[in-house]
A and B are shown apart, each in its own frame.
Chain A
Amino acid sequence: MSGPEPRPDTELSVSIRERRCSGCVVCMHACPSKAIRLRRGKAVILPELCVDCGECMRACPNRAIVPRVSTYQDTARFKVTALLPSPVIYTQFGEDVPPNDILLALGKLGFDYVFDLARYCEWGNLAMAEWLARNPRVRTAFSSICPVFMNLIARRFPDLIQNVVPLVPPREFGAKHIRRLLQRKLGLADEDIGVFYVTPCSAKIVAINRPSTLEKSYLSGALGLHDMFGDILRALKNLTEEDRETLLFNSGGFGINWEMAGGEIGGLSPADRVLAVNGMHETLEVLDQIESGRLSAVRYFECRTCPHGCLGGPLTVENPYMARATLRKLMRMFGTLPRVQPKDIASLIDSPFFGIEKEMVPDTPRLDDDPLEAIKKLKRMDELTNRLPGKRCGICGAPDCRTLAEDVVLGKASLSACPFLSGRDPEERKTP
Chain B
Amino acid sequence: MRQGMIALMSLFRQEFAIKGMDFIHAGEASIRVKNILKEIGAHQDLIRRVAIAAYEAEINTVIYGQGGVMILELDEDGVLIRVEDKGPGIPDLKLAMQEGWSTATPEIQAMGFGAGMGLPNIKKNSDKFVIDSEIGQGTRLKIFFNSGWKGRKT
Contacts and interface: CB of A to CB of B under 8 A. Distances in A.
A271 interface: no
Interface string A358-376: 0000101011111110111
B44 A159 contact: yes
Contacts, number: 82
Contacts of B55: 292-294
A295 B131 CA distance: 27
Given A292-B51, A364-B38, A366-B41, A375 B14 contact: no
A371 B41 contact: yes
A371 B36 contact: no
Nearest to A289: B27
Interface in A123-182: 156, 158-159, 161
Contacts of A292: 27, 30-31, 34, 51-52, 54-55
Interface string B100-119: 00000000000000000000
Interface string B17-36: 00000000001001100101
Nearest to B28: A288
A371 B42 contact: yes
B44 A158 contact: yes
B41 A368 contact: yes
Contacts of B12: 375, 378-379, 382
B48 A159 contact: yes
A186 interface: no
Interface of A: 1, 156, 158-159, 161, 288-289, 291-294, 362, 364, 366-372, 374-379, 382
B76 A372 contact: yes
B94 interface: no
Nearest to A370: B153
A368 B39 CA distance: 9
Interface range, B side: 20 to 34
A227 B43 CA distance: 43
Nearest to A295: B112
B39 A374 contact: yes
B34 A291 contact: yes
Contact of B11 (A293, A366, A379): A379
B154 interface: yes
B152 A371 contact: yes
Contacts of A366: 38-41, 154
Given A288-B31, A364-B41, A367-B41, A378 B153 contact: no
B11 to A, nearest CB: 5
A426 B41 CA distance: 33
Given A159-B47, A292-B31, A382-B14, A374 B52 contact: no
A378 B30 CA distance: 17
Contact of B51 (A156, A293, A378): A293
B121 interface: yes
Nearest to A156: B38
Interface string B125-154: 000000000000000000000010110111
7 contacts: A159-B45, A159-B47, A291-B34, A291-B48, A292-B30, A292-B34, A371-B154
